[in-house]
Structure 1
Amino acid sequence: MNDRPIPATSDATRERTGHASQFTLLRERRFAPFFWTQFLGAMNDNVFKIGFTSLVTYQAARFSGVDPKTVAFLISAIFIAPFVLFSATAGQIADKYDKAMLARWVKTFEIAVMLVGATGFWLHSAPLLYACTFLMGVHSTVFGPVKYAYLPQNLSTDELVGGNGLVEMGTFVAILLGTIIGGVAAGIGATDAGAGGGTPAGAVWLGALCIGVAIVGRVASAFVPPCAPSQPGLRINWNPVSETWRNLRLAHGNRTVFLSLLGISWLWFFGATFLSSFFNFAKDVLSADSGVVTVLLAMFSLGIGLGSLLCERLSRRRIEIGLVPLGSIGMSVFGIDLFFASHALPAAPHLLSVGEFLGVAAHWRVLADLFLLAMFGGFYSVPLYALIQSRSEPSHRARIIAANNILNALFMIVSALMAMALSNAGVGIPGIFLTTALLNIVVAAYIYTLVPEFLLRFIAWVLVHTFYRVRLVHAEHIPVKGPAVLVCNHVSYVDAIVIMAESPRPIRFVMDHQIFRNPFLGWVFRHAKAIPIAPAHEDAAQLTAAYDACAAALADGDLVCIFPEGKLTKTGDMNPFRHGVTEVLRRSPVPVVPMALRGLWGSVFSRGAVSDQPRPARRALASRLTLAVGEPIAPDEVTLERLQETVAELRGARR
């Protein structure tokens, strides 16, 4: 076995290491053992929890002092409690120590915990099983920061979305399998055992399965390659209260990251509300037996798994946060439709079996709503996780993830309290679904108002992918970190939107001040922090302010994009470059990245020809265009002539 640590690589280098498909990661040692380690852990959590819940629900007489009506909520609360108590400490541990070593330690701990759980199953001891539930929560609390800090340390930037998609898909498939296995195992021998003495075979099977899965998970963790600690000199603060507060403040230091954490926590609020209602939804609304709960969970799990996998294709292996608003829209649309679908069901004479349930056409609308709601949840969550991983400082990335786990747990607790309050107020399960879907609209609008970058990327992504099919050439030349000036030819009114949609990073565009008079484009570019500029003969003060703003943006490490022609082409040919770009470089000597758009001339967004040159026919929707990116040019090597020649070469003959 090769135990050499995976070498650290710069983001610029890692951006160039593409892969044929996200599924190829499942054949690589840097990902596959870790994937199966977390998959088996998630599955074992659910085998145990569902098995425990099923036993105390249907064999309550064997567990003294347990109320079957509240036990499901109590088990969930006990499992979540360690996330609130110990996530801050777990984040420090993940930053300080080798994550592969921690994975192996956690899986060894899981075996010991499952021995306790198996004893509880054998003795019908609710206290032992509650203790095991708490310890499994500790297991997941410690492993959470390790999982999400491991990925950005071992995957390239263009693999993060695909890797996170696989992890999200694997987690929900594991939840589904764990639910099925736990429920089936708990039911083995229950009828034969009856109310008599002895231990039902189901309890024995559950204990053996939990121990077996834990052992297999420990074996998988042995193949996880060493992963260097990000901050080995960190002194651990063992006070969970003060460290929790410190982690939340640390996360709050990066506004976009912190609001992304809140966005993910809201998804857990949203998902927990639906998942925790499935049993009552199946029985009281769908008039179906417990087998239908598995069908509902299967649709939910498959939906979020498919959505997570599709993220890589839709985002073209970039961290495309424009998918987040798309996800939130779909979650609300299908959550609201689920409310109406629940009121259009035929009456059932008895609790329906799975076959009877699937035989009713109206029920397929319910399943479709759950599937699509969850699929859009995948669109929502994967880019947010990848964004947090990419924009968090590596030295304390695990503590940021720990802060996320704390927030997730708090939001899930609030979700349970809201559902209980609505139920006590007489609101049915469909009403709870509707309330959650409407709240999702309010929360999404609030977050996108605070961070317009999400909404702007969504608008740009939708517009560009509606009207064009964009081919990128050497997009890796756009630096993933650090300041640079981007220069591009100016063909149409949507040049900036196309570049915004295809860039892996936010860009500060230098725009003619008159474009801000347009109600829509003005709103877009003001929220994109575009820099208005005017010719000296029109407004010399604004020209100076524009140069100052460019210098400030570059000093902050931002990308600044300039269209050196200064105006749209009227013929399709490039206009002479002006001296604005050299003035920016005189104040801020940073690399210059030449780019060229081709295929936009003749589109509905380009100007009409005013010369005698023939105008090409207007291109239809979804026409092809290309954004070609050249190699960066050092600031001391930049001349207007060289820039114009380079951009012209990138554009080629096609306009």
Structure 2
Amino acid sequence: MNDSLHLVRTRRFLPLFVTQFLGAFNDNLFRTAMVMLVIYGIYRDEAHEATFSAIAGGLFIAPFFLLSALSGQLADARDKAAIIRIVKTAEILIMIVGAAGLLMHSPALMLTALFAMGVHSTFFGPIKYAILPQHLQPEEVLGGTGLVEAGTYIAILGGTILGGLLVLQRPDGTYHAEWAAVAVIAVALIGRVAGSFVPAAPSVDEPEIPGFPKRGMDWHIVRASVTLVRATMHIPRLFLAIMAISFFWAMGAVLAAQFPPLVKNVFNGTSGVATLFLAIFSVGVAVGSVAINRLLKGEVSARYAPAAVLAMGLFVLLLYLLCRNWPASATLVPVREFVESPRGVLVVADLFFVAVAGGMFVVPLYAFLTTTVPKSETARTVAANNIVNSGFMVAASVIQAVAIGFLNVSVAQSLLIVSLASVVAAWLGWKLHCACEAAAASAS
């Protein structure tokens, strides 16, 4: 990976990597266990299941929209390592509530914990990207970003698999998640220990950017968010990068929310097949994150972004066509039977390439965000990106819930919408590449 693996042997990178890895692992362990328990053990209706998945996705993302401006200001004004330790302590308390929800089969408690984990991730998200330019050399930032993304999706894979496996079926046919409840608390505790080893990353004293909000805390959530987004989005290259990332995550929100109901109600698969889908998607994004760094050889560039996201859209279109022609089954098909069928292999392969293309699209754009502005502004830039991303994702979740619940749009048809959206994302990626090339030409 352009020799970026040497970073995992350094204290300036490894504790952060492990901390964010465990955070992503726990997010997905809890979310997967929650969704599997609700869909296979509580609800028995396709519309309710799909609506619950969409609502859960929206609740997790809503804090990014509401609180990212505060998190970005805080990360640029305070020691990022100290904030990490506070956030990881809060995760322990949140997972106690989540574990209670799993044990009591309480959707309300589980959704409360999910929302709180969204708050946790809102404050951790800007730090994990903004700290990289502060601890790494300029030529290491793309590789470090790629490792963080790859690690995140490997963590998603592990958390997804474990979350699915720990929702067990009793002999009487009911489902329980006692071991998942224990696991989410244990992982939160280990993550807090890892966070204590992240080196100090105090605020950077650099000249302020004209037009950018002054450093310091504005506790008015709406005003701070509007000011931050407006100041960031008026920079053309940042605007294009953020919009391209936002379209990607809106597409991803639709896909991720619909995997479990898609598996159960279209592909007639068991919860194990749903876990396989989420795992394959995670592996694919990790592979794409590594592959794009090799192609770019450490250069931060959007030149492959349009082709990558168009490829993603084409593979999603193929998944939609497979859904349309999928044969009905009176019983749910287990993992082994699903992957042994030619159609099942084609679905798994297609999903893998959807994710590879997605990883190749989004990783350079994140690296671009953290290297385009001074180190003193990186957290707020990432926070502005998170606000816009989350707005797109919440909108996508709401539209999806309304379309499925009230307009009778099928889960499979939502894939067609994702495929069409990739064309817009490709156009934005192309405009960003052209803007970067023009800026480079004028500088030389």
TM-score by structure 1 length? Answer: 0.62
Q: Which residue of 1 aligns with 2:10?
A: 28
Q: Deviations over 1:600-632 (max 9, x none)?
A: xxxxxxxxxxxxxxxxxxxxxxxxxxxxxxxxx
Q: CA deviation at 1:192?
A: 5.3
Map 1:268-279; keep pairs closer than 5 Å.
268-279=249-260
Q: CA deviation at 1:69?
A: 6.0
Q: Which residue of 2 aligns with 1:627?
A: none
- Out of 139, 152, 176, the residue aligned to residue 157 of structure 2 is 176
Map 1:12-161; keep pairs closer than 5 Å.
21-60=3-42, 70-161=51-142
Q: Which residue of 1 aligns with 2:170?
A: 191
Equivalents in 2 of 1:69, 1:332: separation in Å? Answer: 22
Kindly report the root-mean-square deviation, in angstroms, between the aligned alpha carbons of the 2 structures: 2.5
User: If each structure's strand is expressed as a fraction of its own residues, which one has the higher value?
Assistant: 1
Q: Is the 8 A contact 2:142 2:367 kept in 1?
A: yes
Q: CA deviation at 1:127?
A: 4.0
Q: CA deviation at 1:130?
A: 3.1
Distance change (3 Å), C-alpha of 1:450 and 1:102? closer
Q: Is the 8 A contact 2:57 2:253 kept in 1?
A: no
- Out of 259, 273, 278, the residue aligned to residue 240 of structure 2 is 259
Q: Is the 8 A contact 2:370 2:378 kept in 1?
A: yes
Q: Which residue of 2 aligns with 1:327?
A: 308
Q: Secondary structure at the match of 2:357?
A: helix
Residue 441 of structure 2 aligns with an amino acid whose one-letter code is: I
Say if 2:200 is the partner of 1:226: yes
Equivalents in 1 of 2:42, 2:267: separation in Å? Answer: 25
Q: Secondary structure at the match of 1:277?
A: helix
Say if 2:424 is the partner of 1:442: yes
Unaligned runs of 5+ in 1: 1-18, 62-66, 458-499, 509-557, 560-655
Q: Deviations over 1:457-489 (max 9, x none)?
A: 6xxxxxxxxxxxxxxxxxxxxxxxxxxxxxxxx
- Out of 191, 197, 222, the residue aligned to residue 217 of structure 1 is 191
- Out of 276, 279, 282, the residue aligned to residue 295 of structure 1 is 276
Q: Is the 8 A contact 1:269 1:412 kept in 2?
A: yes
Equivalents in 2 of 1:451, 1:346: separation in Å? Answer: 43
Q: Secondary structure at the match of 2:167?
A: helix
Greater Cα offset, 416-425 or 87-96: 416-425
Map 1:195-210; keep pairs closer than 5 Å.
202-210=176-184
Q: CA deviation at 1:346?
A: 4.6
Q: Deviations over 1:314-358 (max 9, x none)?
A: 001111211211212211222222233334545545322111111
Q: CA deviation at 1:216?
A: 0.7
Distance change (3 Å), C-alpha of 1:119 and 1:277? closer
Distance change (3 Å), C-alpha of 1:273 and 1:20? closer
User: If each structure's helix is expressed as a fraction of its own residues, which one has the higher value?
Assistant: 2
Which structure's CA Rg is the greater one?
1
Equivalents in 2 of 1:52, 1:350: separation in Å? Answer: 23
Q: Secondary structure at the match of 2:356?
A: helix
Residue 370 of structure 2 aligns with an amino acid whose one-letter code is: Q
Equivalents in 2 of 1:436, 1:72: separation in Å? Answer: 17
Say if 2:415 is the partner of 1:415: no
Distance change (3 Å), C-alpha of 1:193 and 1:246? farther
Q: Secondary structure at the match of 2:166?
A: helix
Residue 256 of structure 1 aligns with an amino acid whose one-letter code is: R
Equivalents in 2 of 1:322, 1:419: separation in Å? Answer: 31
- Out of 293, 307, 316, the residue aligned to residue 312 of structure 1 is 293
Q: Which residue of 2 aligns with 1:567?
A: none
Distance change (3 Å), C-alpha of 1:131 and 1:286? closer
Q: Which residue of 2 aligns with 1:614?
A: none
Q: Deviations over 1:420-447 (max 9, x none)?
A: 3543444433332222212221342256
Q: Which residue of 2 aligns with 1:384?
A: 365
Q: CA deviation at 1:308?
A: 0.2
Q: Is the 8 A contact 2:49 2:261 kept in 1?
A: no
Q: CA deviation at 1:387?
A: 0.7
Which protein, 1 or 2, shows the higher relative CO under an 8 Å CA cutoff with sep ≥ 6? 2
Equivalents in 2 of 1:281, 1:207: separation in Å? Answer: 26
Q: Which residue of 2 aligns with 1:368?
A: 349
Equivalents in 2 of 1:369, 1:268: separation in Å? Answer: 19
Q: Which residue of 1 aligns with 2:441?
A: 507
Q: CA deviation at 1:37?
A: 0.1
Equivalents in 2 of 1:37, 1:54: separation in Å? Answer: 26
Greater Cα offset, 31-40 or 427-436: 427-436
Q: CA deviation at 1:418?
A: 3.2
Equivalents in 1 of 2:414, 2:51: separation in Å? Answer: 19
Q: Secondary structure at the match of 1:54?
A: helix
Equivalents in 1 of 2:279, 2:102: separation in Å? Answer: 26
Alignment: residue pair count: 432
Residue 202 of structure 2 aligns with an amino acid whose one-letter code is: A
Q: Which residue of 2 aligns with 1:354?
A: 335
Greater Cα offset, 305-314 or 426-435: 426-435
Q: Is the 8 A contact 1:275 1:297 kept in 2?
A: yes
Distance change (3 Å), C-alpha of 1:339 and 1:414? same
Q: Is the 8 A contact 1:96 1:231 kept in 2?
A: no
Q: CA deviation at 1:139?
A: 0.7
Q: Is the 8 A contact 2:164 2:271 kept in 1?
A: no
Equivalents in 2 of 1:280, 1:125: separation in Å? Answer: 20
Distance change (3 Å), C-alpha of 1:418 and 1:151? same
Q: CA deviation at 1:246?
A: 0.9
Residue 208 of structure 1 aligns with an amino acid whose one-letter code is: V
Map 1:242-641; keep pairs closer than 5 Å.
242-348=223-329, 350-423=331-404, 424-445=406-427, 448-449=430-431, 452-453=434-435, 506-508=440-442, 558-559=443-444
Q: Which residue of 2 aligns with 1:237?
A: 218
Q: Is the 8 A contact 1:42 1:171 kept in 2?
A: yes
Distance change (3 Å), C-alpha of 1:316 and 1:357? same
Q: Deviations over 1:102-150 (max 9, x none)?
A: 1111111111222233344445554443332222111111001111101
Q: Deviations over 1:384-443 (max 9, x none)?
A: 001111102322211111111111111111222333354344443333222221222134
Greater Cα offset, 20-29 or 266-275: 20-29
Residue 213 of structure 1 aligns with an amino acid whose one-letter code is: V
Residue 241 of structure 2 aligns with an amino acid whose one-letter code is: S
Q: CA deviation at 1:206?
A: 2.4
Q: Deviations over 1:501-549 (max 9, x none)?
A: xxxx7223xxxxxxxxxxxxxxxxxxxxxxxxxxxxxxxxxxxxxxxxx
